[in-house]
């Protein structure tokens, strides 16, 4: 009994927000210890694929690799697309979070966040990948619940709170009360769709081909959910001219990018409106008082809170450390017995 309690205290149980774009790791009693891109670089030699780099190092290689190396993202739309590569990535992040595999006191318990709309097969893939990567037990927690806990919302109390978690692959919209989801909706629209819309718009208007990393940089620097007055900010963009076939530099405006991402933004707003229409009246009354809280990397898009507030007529706030909310919430559910009921054994 004493020994088992000792090992529990010495354990490094963790929560992982396994995102399409970034993976964030929270270790029990240590908080957030790792935030890296969900990218794996694989090298093929003599027909055998081996992991060359993971995370930030692998992301630097995207779009710049020779024929025998490919940089891939093993998650698409918030779920695992390549289970073998995802397993290698999770194992790498577990080891890195603990300062090396040799320092692990025992196989840790791991809580992993899943989209609320993920299927049984998709959840099983996540469980298997985490188990094979070294977890003693895997718990699943739905992303909107983890986001709400991480944003310090009163999910245990009998009051309605609304969370909009915009990730790279999915947007989760949920109304929560009494440790449960009164309503949830998951749409496969997020930061990735905005990046695709930006690159498609530049290709169409300027005959210029730009890569994923460039599209993401444009979104972060001048992306806006609301059309600016006039052209707004301007940024220089380098890519390959599709007509002449040579490298070229152009300038794009904030207004142009706002127009390009208008469609994915309107889909996110549509999901929020659908959630409000399906919310029971008593919970809807609480949301009128408390407003909507936004989390996830997509919540950092400039003026998206303003666009949502205009569309719904409700107060909208972006949570502090929006990118970390899901991982922090899942970690708190592991640590605090009051929240433990929101974890589902996989």
Contact 131, 94 (CB under 8 A): no
pLDDT at 6 over 60: no
pLDDT at 11 over 60: no
Please tell me if the domain spanning 2-37+77-145+326-345 has the same topology as the one spanning 191-262. Answer: no
Q: What is the pLDDT of residue 316?
A: 96
Q: 191-262 — its CATH code?
A: 3.90.640.10
72 DSSP β-pair partners: 40
Q: What is the pLDDT of residue 102?
A: 47
Write down the domain spans for the chain.
Answer: 2-37+77-145+326-345, 39-72, 160-189+265-322, 191-262
Residue 247 tokens, joined: 């490298």
- pLDDT, tens digit, for every residue of 76-99? 877 888 888 999 999 999 888 877
Angle between helices 191-206 and 212-222 (to 10 degrees): 100
- pLDDT, tens digit, for every residue of 66-81? 889 999 999 987 788 8
Residue 90 tokens, joined: 């999770």
Its pTM stands at 0.89
49-53, 65-69, 103-107, range with the lowest pLDDT? 103-107
CA distance 64 to 74: 18
216 is in an annotated binding site: yes
217 is in an annotated binding site: yes
76 is in an annotated binding site: no
299 is in an annotated binding site: yes
CA distance 223 to 300: 10
170 is in an annotated binding site: yes
- pLDDT, tens digit, for every residue of 177-226? 888 889 999 899 999 999 999 999 999 999 999 998 899 999 999 999 99
In the DSSP assignment, the letter for residue 110 is E
218 is in an annotated binding site: yes
Query: Which of 3.40.50.720, 3.40.50.300, 3.55.10.10, 3.30.420.40 is the CATH number of 160-189+265-322?
Result: 3.30.420.40
Helices H, strands E: what count in the chain? 12, 19
- pLDDT, tens digit, for every residue of 118-169? 889 989 999 999 998 888 999 999 999 999 999 999 998 999 999 999 999 9
133 is in an annotated binding site: no
How would residue 64 be classed by pLDDT, with cut points 50, 70 and 90?
confident
- Tell me what the mean pLDDT of segment 18-35 comes to: 92
Percent of the chain clearing pLDDT 90 (strictly above):
65
Q: Is 16 helix (H, G, I), strand (E, B) or coil?
A: strand
Closest CA to 38 of 85, 96, 105, 108: 85
335 is in an annotated binding site: no
CATH architecture of 2-37+77-145+326-345: 2-Layer Sandwich (3.30)
Q: Which residue shows structure tokens 């990118």?
A: 323
Contact 97, 71 (CB under 8 A): no
Better-predicted residue by pLDDT, 6 or 123: 123
């Amino acid at each position: 009994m004493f020994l088992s309690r000792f090992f529990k205290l010495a354990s490094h149980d963790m929560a992982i927000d396994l995102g399409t774009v970034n993976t964030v790791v929270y270790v029990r009693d240590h908080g957030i210890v790792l935030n890296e891109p969900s990218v794996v670089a694989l090298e093929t030699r003599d027909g055998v694929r081996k992991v060359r780099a993971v995370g930030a190092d692998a992301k630097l290689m995207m779009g710049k690799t020779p024929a025998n190396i490919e940089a891939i993202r093993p998650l698409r739309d918030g779920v695992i697309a390549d289970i073998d590569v995802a397993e290698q990535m999770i194992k790498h992040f577990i080891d890195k979070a603990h300062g090396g595999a040799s320092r692990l006191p025992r196989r840790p318990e791991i809580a992993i966040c899943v989209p609320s709309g993920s299927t049984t097969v998709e959840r099983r893939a996540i469980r298997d990948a985490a188990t094979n990567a070294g977890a003693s037990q895997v718990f699943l927690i739905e992303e909107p619940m983890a986001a709400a806990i991480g944003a310090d919302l009163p999910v245990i109390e009998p009051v309605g709170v609304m969370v909009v978690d915009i990730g790279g692959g999915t947007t989760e919209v949920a109304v929560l009360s009494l440790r449960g989801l009164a309503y949830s909706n998951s749409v496969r629209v997020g930061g990735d769709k905005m990046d695709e819309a930006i690159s498609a718009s530049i290709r169409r208007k300027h005959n210029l081909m730009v890569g994923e990393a460039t599209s993401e940089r444009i979104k972060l620097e001048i992306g806006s959910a609301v059309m600016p007055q006039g052209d707004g900010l301007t940024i220089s963009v380098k890519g390959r001219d599709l007509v002449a076939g040579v490298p070229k530099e152009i300038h794009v405006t904030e207004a142009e990018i706002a127009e390009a991402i208008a469609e994915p933004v309107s889909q996110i707003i549509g999901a929020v409106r659908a959630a409000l229409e399906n919310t029971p009246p008593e919970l809807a009354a609480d949301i009128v008082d408390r407003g909507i809280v936004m989390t996830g990397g997509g919540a950092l898009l400039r003026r998206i809170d303003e666009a949502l507030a205009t569309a719904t007529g409700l107060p909208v706030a972006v949570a502090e450390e929006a990118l970390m909310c899901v991982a922090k919430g899942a970690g708190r559910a592991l640590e605090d017995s009051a929240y433990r009921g929101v974890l589902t054994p996989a």
